[in-house]
């Protein structure tokens, strides 16, 4: 569950890389625009899904530094339509956007890519380089090829491969359920909603009585709450630092904070391992994993540079 929820946070991070321009003129510096965009992104994660911020980064400052550091290279990528002005507008719009829209991939217009100049099949690193507004990047890679956004039912590897408001579920682009719609492991709910007794509904708050069911979480997962199978109460998932116990610890479920990996030694408990540094060895299955936005590519934590995707 935690892995899927954190995936949403990374999906929100993609909107920063997707921001693109329409008039080509920059009235503010790229550095300022990138700082504004990264700050807005991390603040929105903290507002809408604070548990993601805890699981993904040491703190807000690290979140900002990580996303800001990968932003400015977008402006020099071949064929890009990205401009600092558009990033700045996206940053302003994200501040007032509803959490349900951000977590449901209904991003503000300024945060969606406009067409670049590269045709389908051309090497790319960001969506704004491509005529059809999608740079399809394999999960294990940092560069990809220009393509077209997937409609409902299209093949995908990540949410960004799908058209707006669709998400990648079971490697297919899918419209997630609205409030009152049926839900299951293969048909999750959209945005801030939770699956409760097979129906998408507003999540239960911490301390609320809940009914435990496999592949469902009626509690507020974005805030780190889950339905405890024994007490039948929405209970906070705990987050531990590197070196601390994780997994099933007593009656608590403990995950690793700051992008750490729970290295399970035996049974259902283990020890938190810190993420690998940029350029260090990594393993997405066994750990250590990489600190976003770096990806584990060929066993090494690598940060994409769109300008180098040729």
CB 231 within 8 A of CB 212: no
How high is the mean pLDDT in each 10-residue block of the chain (310 residues)? 36 43 62 95 96 95 92 91 95 96 93 95 95 92 94 94 92 95 94 96 96 94 94 96 94 94 88 96 93 92 91
Cα separation values, 146 from 6, 86, 100, 127, Å: 26, 21, 29, 8
Give the C-alpha separation, 300 to 304, whole Å: 12
Region label for 7, one of left (φ > 0), alpha (ψ between -120 and 50) or beta (otherwise): alpha
What pLDDT score was predicted for residue 11? Answer: 40
What pLDDT score was predicted for residue 109? Answer: 94
What pLDDT score was predicted for residue 69? Answer: 82
Tokens linked to 233: 């109460």
Q: Which residues partner with 168 through β-bridges?
A: 173
CA angle at 65 for the pair 258 and 289, rounded to the nearest 5°: 35
Give the C-alpha separation, 119 to 52, whole Å: 35
What pLDDT score was predicted for residue 273? Answer: 96
Cα separation values, 244 from 2, 146, 261, 262, 270, Å: 18, 43, 11, 9, 8
What pLDDT score was predicted for residue 180? Answer: 98
């Amino acid at each position: 569950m935690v892995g899927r929820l954190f995936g949403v946070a990374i999906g929100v991070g993609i909107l920063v890389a997707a921001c693109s321009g329409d008039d080509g003129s920059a009235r503010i510096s790229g550095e300022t625009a990138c700082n504004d965009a990264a700050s807005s992104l991390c603040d929105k994660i903290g507002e809408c899904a604070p548990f993601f911020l805890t699981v993904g980064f040491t703190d807000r400052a690290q979140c900002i530094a990580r996303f800001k550091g990968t932003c400015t290279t977008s402006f020099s990528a071949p064929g890009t339509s990205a401009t600092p002005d558009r990033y700045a507008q996206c940053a302003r719009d994200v501040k007032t956007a509803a959490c349900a829209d951000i977590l449901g991939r209904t991003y503000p217009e300024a945060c969606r890519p406009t067409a670049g100049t590269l045709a389908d099949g051309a090497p790319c690193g960001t969506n704004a380089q491509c005529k059809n507004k999608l740079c399809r990047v394999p999960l294990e890679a940092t560069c990809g090829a220009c393509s077209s956004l997937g409609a409902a039912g299209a093949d995908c590897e990540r949410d960004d491969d799908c058209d707006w408001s669709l998400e990648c579920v079971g490697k297919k682009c899918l419209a997630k359920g609205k409030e009152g719609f049926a839900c299951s492991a293969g048909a999750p709910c959209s945005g801030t909603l939770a699956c409760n007794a097979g129906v998408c509904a507003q999540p239960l708050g911490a301390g609320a009585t809940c009914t435990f069911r496999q592949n469902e979480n009626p509690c507020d997962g974005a805030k780190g709450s889950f339905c405890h199978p024994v007490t039948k109460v929405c209970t906070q998932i705990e987050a531990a630092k590197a070196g601390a116990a994780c997994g099933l610890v007593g009656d608590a479920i403990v995950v690793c904070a700051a992008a750490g990996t729970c290295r399970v030694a035996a049974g259902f408990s283990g020890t938190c391992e810190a993420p690998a540094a940029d350029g260090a060895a990594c393993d997405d299955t066994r750990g250590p994993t990489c600190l976003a936005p770096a990806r584990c590519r060929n066993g090494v934590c690598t940060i994409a540079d769109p300008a180098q995707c040729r």
